Chains A and B, each alone.
Chain A
Amino acid sequence: MSETACLNPIRYCIIHETEYPACGVAVSLAQHLLHLMPRALPHQTLGDCHILIEPDQAALREGLDAFGNPVAWLALETPHDGLLVRAESDVTVHPRPVPDLAESPPWEMVRDGFNYRPGLRSPESLEAQRYLYASPRVPCAPALAQLALEVFTPEAPVLQAAEALMALIFEDFTFDPEATEVGSSVFDVLERKRGVCQDFAHLMIAALRSIGLPARYMSGYLLTAPPPGKPRLIGADASHAWVAVWCPQHGWVEFDPTNNIRPGLHHVTLGWGRDFQDVSPLRGVILGGVAQNPEVRVTVMPWAEMPEGGLMRGPVPLAEVPAQAPK
């Protein structure tokens, strides 16, 4: 199910464009928070990563959020019609050790480890506890606990049970891009039994937290296979979301309920949080203009398959860049 650990690293070029097209009515003031830069990790190294904004009079400040993710604050204080945010990242994903899931402790032991008692606690456990409670998009409820308890049988090894929960969601729920929007709730998903990657990640996290286990929302990209015999298309990919579960022996172990796989070389990580809202690639407030949804175009291109001329424009004003790379 997962890629084997002996494979070679894969280097990616990732282009993530978010565009509010020009609509004839100027936006006078816009403030956005961007989670578009990948995070450096033991199994993920970064080359040149940058964000390009059009129009270029935008002010961009960079920093880290409370979860340690790279973040950028974008402010546009002059009237503008149309906005393009283009993140370009050079990321290499390395093989990582694959733990034996059956070797993990019984899930009840992990759960009970968070019961409060006075005295020192380990930084790892304290960090994990940040992801243990309900958050804006992830409720905790008996119905969600019930879903988890179908596979979290007494004394079940926590990671093995988590893998079973992933499989359960994969089997019982239908991937359906038409089913939900960015704002749908976990209960809707539970009821309709359909959704997209974000919904399945939220659902799995909610089920885990409802039985007292810490779970993270992982935001990033997935390398997809082009249709057989066809070349890889530019802009045809999407953001992806999956889940990480914590256990004291192995730390955070990732699961992708949308594809029923354990993330390996094909998952590129942007960052993580309690749920989508903590790491949504772009959130903000716009004053003026007309209500419209931005267009999002993502390209996940293995460096080995890079078209001639490359995809990156580099950190120069967009206006000076000639034509876009051939499609």
Chain B
Amino acid sequence: MTSSILNHYPYRPDCYDELFGDEGVRPHWQEFLDHIEESSGEPLKSRAAQLARGIQQNGVTYNVYADPRGTDRPWSLDLLPLILPAQEWRQISAAVAQRARLLDTLLADLYGDQSTLAEGLLPPELVFGHKGFLWPCQGMRPVGGHYLHFYAADLARSPDGRWWVIADRTQSPSGAGYALENRMLVSRAFPDLYRDLQVESLGRFFRGLQRTLAKEAPTDGEPPLTVLLTPGPFNETYFEHVYLARYLGYPLVEGQDLTVRDNTVYLKTVSGLKRVHAILRRLDDDFCDPVELRADSALGIPGLLGAVRAGRVLVANALGSGLLESAALPGFLPGICQHLLGEELAMPSVATWWCGETPARAEVLERFEDLVIKPTFPGSGEGAVFGDQLSEAQRDALMARIEANPSAYVAQELVKLSRAPAWAGGQRRKLVTRAMGLRVYVCLTPEGYTVLPGGLARVAGVENTRILTMQKGGSSKDTWVLSDGPVSAFSQLHQTVRAKDLIRETGTLSSRLAENLFWFGRYGERCDAVARLARLALSRLSESRKVERSGALVMMLELAIGMGLVDAEVLKAPIAKAELDLFRAVLDRRSPNGLASNLQRLTWCANQAREHLSLDNWHALKRLTAELEDCRSKVSDVPALLEFLDEALTTFVSLSGFAMDNMTRDTGWRLHILGRRIERLDSLGTTLARFLRRHADLHLPLQQELAVEALLELCDSIITYRTRYRAQPELLPALHLLVTDEANPHAMAFQVRLVSSYLHSMQGWGGLELEELNVAFARLQDFDWACLEATRPASERIEASLHLAEALDRLVHAGRQLSDRLAMRYFTHVGYAGQATFAA
């Protein structure tokens, strides 16, 4: 059958074409082609659009998790899957499973008695000279006996149709999350076809890994807890960590979330320490324990090696497994396979010469043009180089480098990659072809190594690229393995929840997450307080050309000095100085207590607590940060800055509203609200105390009155005041409103009442922890307000003001102590910042 879609198919006879062979369309593609042929051009285009929408939707979600700046999804997805027939897949799958078994056995040998080195099957330099050989792990036998639980092989197909292994990924292979996601999207684009073609399901694959971890994890009889260890949100594959953690149902943790006590690993949660039995790691192994491995690692878990050595925790892949990621290794695998497994290596590696061998080096220098030159060990900073793309000078320089340090280089045969059809997009219904490689995944199941039936096909971004990287414009494809038997419909993503599975509470809240929610609350309030004060001070600047004439301005600047927003000199300097300082406090991150700095901290905390916050929080923060940047580059006058501050305050009020309206009332929420209340107790108390101490310096009654009015405005209580008193602001009633009124959200009493009510609702908190706060508050309540009456002598009033200020100080102090106590109890469980030490 001649197919119109194939009329312009760019078949290249010098490469293997996945779709098209010497005898026309390959049989396993026929049904797929017929299907897209029947649906004329338009539907295919609309499917592509649907796919793009799906990517974008997921992308939005993941980008939020991956990167607050919202950079693009790391790579794109082609509409057409790669299709492989059952027969061929069986061979690939058996070969790759054998390779996983071989590498696992080899790791056990190299970290054990090293027979492969003694027998000369592997150059010792590839072990002793490899940074990935973790000396402290030598002789350490992991629980369960396996080193490799999850492995990936990069495959390529040569023009004769054979598959070759290009590289091994033994540290913590990435991309399986993308493979799952690609399947979801592409199978939705071709729902009928996907069903009719009997494509192997990916759903069962990770069940196998889960069963292995559950079985091998050492326990004292309790159900095992497995966590997924990530380096954190700054890792380029972080979104995938989030995705897999959810898919597998494992808590996503960073090193700081875990602690080792008595050779046992624990997860720090708000309900205490919980034992961790297995760690699926995405953190490189040399970063995992600063006590015995890299001392400069801030990402690891001090003492982890001790727990592994004691057999108290399973780490997958085992620490030290990165050793096998070396370009020189494949050349030695056939001999090692014979020695360790007594089998032939089923799938060959691409021809490899390690320049550390003298005869190999001679051959490499001879055949330079046909080879790719790579560094022997990962992380050397050098990339792969094509021998035929070098100028003569470059070539000589590289040859000299090889001669000087031959064992650092490996040469590989250049594989002419196979080509797969891809959807070109655009107006015409046209297929193009792209160079292609396939990453396949293997996991350890209780039944042995099992290969994901599918994988991540990676295609070059432009027509003639020879290197497949996702970062440089490459694209990915779903891989469909056709089944000749019945296929399972099992999927972990689409499991239906039954009534008995209904969950009322989200699982354990990690201490790190809780702490970030707490500080998200505190910084939210702090930003609000700073923005309010800056707005008020700026708006009063225009009242007078002379600072000392305006009581309100003097007091607001006094408070701004107290908050560290402006220099102490502003009171005596020309008004322009105050203006300049306030601009800086709002827009410049170098002002450490200013709005820009606190907004940055707020965003940081939000980023760290992203799993718990709704998208609205994100949009609001992103918009405000963008506006701040905009403002910094443009704004020069006070009205524009005031406009920005209005916008900022609206945002902060919204964040507070989201917290009350959108967040689930769990422990995390309570800690967030406690953070808000404690911060407001702090900033309000500090403000009132400073106001009380400076107020007496204002001599004119009008000055005093305007200052009190500004204070009420600052504390967002002017409306309440006017409704109650219908008179000009005076000190006594204003302070009474701001200190003792339990109903006013901007009063000290309100914060104290809420703090104690939230704390009482948290498990294990009683009167003891609150005692200090209660005592300090009682003293404030005992204050004799009559002493502040305007009819009293000035000296008496001043003394009373100072008394009140002291009582406020004490309450602020109690709040700070409480904050520290919360931190000890819920967040650190002992301490936090670690320091590495060496002593001679």
Q: Give chain A's interface residues, CB within 8 Å of chain B.
A: 18, 27-29, 31-33, 59, 61, 65-67, 73, 75, 77, 79, 115-121, 123, 126, 129-130, 132-134, 142, 182-183, 198, 238-239, 274, 277-278, 280-289, 291, 293-294, 296
Instruction: Report whether B839 and A280 are in contact in the complex, using a CB–CB cutoff of 8 Å.
Output: yes
Chain B's closest residue to A145 (CB) is B404
Pick from B262, B357, B831, B838: contact of A282, CB under 8 Å:
B838
Contact (Cβ within 8 A) B118 A126: yes
- Residues from chain A with a CB closer than 8 A to the CB of B119 are 119-120
From the candidates A79, A117, A130, name the one contacting B120 in the complex (CB within 8 A).
A117
CB-CB nearest in chain A for B259? A29
Closest chain B residue, CB of each to CB of A77: B261
User: In the assembled complex, which residues on chain B have CB atoms less than 8 Å from the CB atom of A119?
Assistant: 119-120
A277 to B839, CA, bound (A): 10
Please encode chain B, from 819 to 840, with 1 for each CB lying within 8 Å of some chain A CB and 0 for all others.
0000000001011111111111
Given A116-B357, A118-B120, A285 contacting B839 (CB threshold 8 A)? no
**Chain B: interface size category:** 35 or more
A59: chain B residues at CB < 8 Å are 262
Q: Which residues of B contact A (CB under 8 A)?
A: 114, 117-121, 123-125, 128-129, 135-136, 138-139, 259-263, 290-292, 295, 302-303, 306, 335, 356-358, 404, 828, 830-840
- Complex contact B831–A66 (CB within 8 A): no
With contact pairs A31-B291, A121-B118, A129-B125 given, residues A18 and B831 touching in the complex (Cβ less than 8 Å)? no
Q: A33-B291, A133-B129, A182-B838 are in contact. Are A287 and B832 (CB under 8 A)?
A: yes
> How near does chain A come to B297, taking the closest CB pair, in angstroms?
10
Contact of B836 among A115, A123, A285 (CB under 8 A): A285
Please, how many angstroms separate the alpha-carbon atoms of A75 and B264 in the complex?
A: 12
Q: How far is the CB of B336 from chain A (nearest CB, A)?
A: 12
Do residues B840 and A133 form an inter-chain contact, with CB atoms below 8 A? Answer: no
Q: Does the CB pair B262–A132 fall under 8 Å? A: no
Distance in angstroms from B322 CB to nearest chain A CB is 16
Contact B125 A66 (CB under 8 A): no
**Are B136 and A66 in touch, CB under 8 angstroms?**
yes
Contacting pair A66 B139 (CB below 8 A): yes
How many whole Å from A144's CB to the nearest CB in chain B? 13
Q: Are B831 and A29 in contact (CB under 8 A)?
A: yes
**Contact between B136 and A65 (Cβ–Cβ < 8 Å)?**
yes
Q: How far is the CB of A142 from chain B (nearest CB, A)?
A: 8
Query: Of the candidates B118, B302, B831, which one forms a contact with A31 in the assembled complex, judged by CB atoms under 8 Å apart?
Result: B302
CA distance A118 to B118 in the complex (A): 10
Taking A59-B262, A73-B306, A285-B302 as contacts, is the C-beta distance between A291 and B835 under 8 angstroms?
Answer: yes
Supposing A59-B262, A77-B261 touch, asked if A296 and B128 sit within 8 A by C-beta, the answer is no
Tell me whether A129 and B306 are in contact in the complex, defined as CB-CB below 8 angstroms, given that A286-B834, A286-B835 are known contacts.
Answer: no
CB pair A27–B831 under 8 Å, yes or no, is yes
The answer to whether A33 touches B830, judged by C-beta atoms less than 8 angstroms apart, is: no
A233 to B833, CA, bound (A): 38
Residues of B near A277 (CB, < 8 A) are 295, 838
Query: What are 30 A-to-B residue pairs whose CB atoms are below 8 Å?
Result: A28-B828, A29-B831, A33-B291, A65-B135, A75-B303, A77-B830, A79-B830, A116-B125, A116-B356, A117-B120, A118-B121, A120-B119, A123-B118, A126-B124, A130-B124, A182-B838, A198-B840, A277-B295, A280-B838, A281-B839, A282-B839, A283-B291, A283-B836, A283-B839, A285-B303, A285-B834, A285-B837, A286-B835, A288-B832, A291-B835
Report how far A123 CA is from B118 CA in the complex, Å.
7
Evaluate contact between A121 and B129: CB separation under 8 angstroms: no
Contacts of A29 in B (CB 8 A): 259, 302, 830-831
Q: Is the interface of B mostly helix, strand, loop or mixed?
A: loop
Nearest 6 A/B pairs, CB to CB: A288-B831, A28-B831, A28-B830, A133-B129, A287-B831, A116-B123
Distance between Cα atoms of A123 and B119 in the complex (Å): 10
| Given the contacts A198-B840, A280-B840, A287 and B125 also touching, CB distance less than 8 Å | no
Taking CB atoms, residues of chain B closer than 8 Å to A77 are 261-262, 830
A302 to B835, CA, bound (A): 37
Q: A287-B834, A294-B837 are in contact. List 14 more A-B contacts (CB 8 A).
A: A28-B828, A29-B302, A31-B291, A66-B139, A118-B120, A118-B335, A126-B114, A126-B118, A183-B838, A277-B838, A281-B839, A282-B839, A283-B839, A285-B837
Q: In the complex, what residues of B have CB within 8 A of residue A126's CB?
A: 114, 117-118, 124
Q: For the complex, what is the distance from the CA of A91 to the CA of B291, rounded to whole Å?
A: 28
Docked CA distance A182–B327 (Å): 35
Q: Indicate if the CB atoms of A129 and B124 lie closer than 8 Å.
A: yes
Q: Which of A123, A126, A142 has the most CB of B within 10 A?
A: A126
Chain B residues contacting A283 (CB-CB under 8 Å) are: 291, 295, 836-839
How many angstroms between the C-alpha atoms of A264 and B298 in the bound complex?
42
A33 touches B838 (CB 8 A): no
Our pick among A28, A117, A238, A285 for the contact of B291 (Cβ within 8 Å) is A285
Distance (whole angstroms) from the CB of B298 to the closest CB of chain A = 10
Chain A residues lying within 8 Å of B356, measured Cβ to Cβ, are: 116
Partner of B292, one of A33, A238, A288, A291: A33
Bound Cα distance from A204 to B358, whole angstroms:
28
**CA separation between A274 and B134, bound complex, in Å?**
13
Query: Out of A75, A121, A281, A288, which one reaches B306, CB within 8 Å?
Result: A75
Q: Is the CB of A121 within 8 A of B839?
A: no
Contacting residues, chain A, for B835 (C-beta < 8 A): 285-286, 289, 291
| Cα distance, A318 to B557, chains bound together (Å) | 59
| Assembled-state Cα–Cα distance A291/B834 (Å) | 9
A123 to B263, CA, bound (A): 34
Q: Tell me the bound Cα distance from A289 to B833 in angstroms.
A: 9
Whether B125 pairs with A284 at a CB distance below 8 angstroms is no
Q: Which residues of B contact A61 (CB under 8 A)?
A: 263, 306
A190 to B259, CA, bound (A): 41
Residue of A75, A119, A285, A289 contacting most chain B CB atoms (<10 Å): A285
* A129-B123 Cα distance, complex, nearest whole Å: 10
Question: Cβ of B259: which chain A residues have Cβ within 8 Å of it?
Answer: 29
Chain A min CB distance to B34 (Å): 54
Which residues of chain B come closer than 8 Å to A278, judged between CB atoms?
Answer: 135
Given A31-B302, A33-B292, A281-B840, answer yes or no on A287-B129 (Cβ-Cβ < 8 Å): no
Give the residues in chain A near B303, CB-CB below 8 Å: 31, 75, 285
